[in-house]
Structure 1
Amino acid sequence: MLDIAVQAGPDWSADEDWEAIGTKAVTLALEHSLHADWLTRALCIEVAIRLTDDEEVRSLNAQYRGKDAPTNVLSFPMVQPDLLDSLANTDDGEALLGDIVLAHRVCVREAEEKGISVTDHATHLIVHGTFHLLGYDHQGEAEAEAMEALETQALASIGLADPYNRD
């Protein structure tokens, strides 16, 4: 079971059902990960998603990553990667997987550059952030290719184009 809490700031369109979008994106990432079986367990997986402004993301990025600039998405895992597998042995209970934070203007600008909707881009960024919560990374070339392939597969399963524009 998933428990996705979404908090959308005033810059984010009130016409969108961000709770449903967030839940769909987290589900997609889980379905395409090594932890897909969690979706069939009694285990409650919790993820918090904050859709905020660039200034808040800039502040978080400076504080936690030493980079004084906004970025599109930040992920804050609550479970260490080496402990994720232990959740597979749990049939009940709760696991706070972590937090995902998106910056509004960065997301809008990137969506415009890609020629896609903000909703589709935010979906991709939440999928990307969820993979980080699940222990995936893109520090090395092989890791990046593997993570990007999973993101592309997940998004393709709902009809969204390859976010990395590979032919």
Structure 2
Amino acid sequence: MLTDTIIEDERWDGLGLTQLAETAATATLAHLGLDPVSFEIAVLACDDARIADLNTEFRAKPTATNVLSWPNEERGAEADGDMPDLPEPGPDSELGDIAIAYDTCAREASEAGKPMVDHVTHLMVHGTLHLLGFDHIRDKDATLMEGHEVAILGKLGLPDPYRE
């Protein structure tokens, strides 16, 4: 399996996060022409308290967030809007870690009137793209990343998360 999911908050079991994470990450790598069996991603399924601690520790932001990603290697493009340097399969095939918080995801899905499964799938695609060097801080990078998200989610039969 591409993903190794650790469930800290058992509410994730009811949503089937292990399979959602695997499906989203596999679809993301396949979309970019990468063989999913050649890579590994660790996923931490937690609550808001845990992700707030992680966000404080790693980003100096003492608040909960929906998803965090820690790539094993920096792959971001130098020029705004360019493709990141995608990984080659090899002996160190770990792409990195993703943490996702149940409380924030549930609240966001409810506020947006979206099924939680759809929202979480989007966030897992988003987190996987971050592990591959995509980002959304610069405008053209954000456009590139969002375009990939929309295409991947479309292949999974999910609507564009950026449309009202």
1:56 to 2:50 alignment: yes
Cα offset for 1:157?
0.7
Q: Is the 8 A contact 1:152 1:163 kept in 2?
A: yes
Distance 1:144 1:87, change over 3 A: closer
Q: Who is 1:77 aligned against?
A: 71
CA distance in 2, matches of 1:133, 1:32: 14
For 2:137, the equivalent position in structure 1 comes to 139
Aligned residues: 157
Aligned twin of 1:10: 9
Percent identity at matched positions?
A: 35
Cα gap change, 1:105 to 1:44, in 2 (>3 Å): same
Paired residue type of 1:103: A
Equivalent residues in 2 for 1:88-167, closer than 5 Å: 88=88, 90=89, 93-165=91-163
C-alpha distance in 2 between matches for 1:76 and 1:48: 10
1:87-127 alpha-carbon deviations (Å, 9 max, x no partner): 43x5x534110000011110001111121221211111010
Note the 1:18-29 alignment, pairs <5 A.
Answer: 18-29=17-28
CA distance in 1, matches of 2:109, 2:28: 20
- Asked if the contact 1:49/1:101 (under 8 Å) is kept, the reply is yes
TM-superposed CA distance for 1:27, in Å, is: 1.1
Whole-angstrom CA distance in 1 between matches of 2:44 and 2:12: 13
- What's the secondary structure of 1:14's corresponding residue? helix
Inter-CA distance 31–3: structure 2 relative to 1 (3 Å threshold)? closer
Q: Check conservation: 2:75, 2:86, Cα contact below 8 A.
A: no
Name the CA distance, whole Å, in 2 between partners of 1:66 and 1:128: 21
Q: Secondary structure at the match of 1:102?
A: strand
1:68 corresponding residue in structure 2: 62
Deviation of 1:4 (Å): 1.0
Measured at CA, do residues 86 and 13 of structure 1 come closer, stay the same or move farther in structure 2, by a change above 3 Å? closer
Question: How much does 1:32 deviate?
Answer: 2.4
Distance 2:139 2:72 in 1: 25
Q: Which moved more, 1:110-119 or 1:50-59?
A: 110-119
Helix, strand or coil: the match of 1:49? strand
TM-score normalised over the length of structure 1: 0.85
Distance in 2 of aligned mates of 1:120 and 1:151: 12
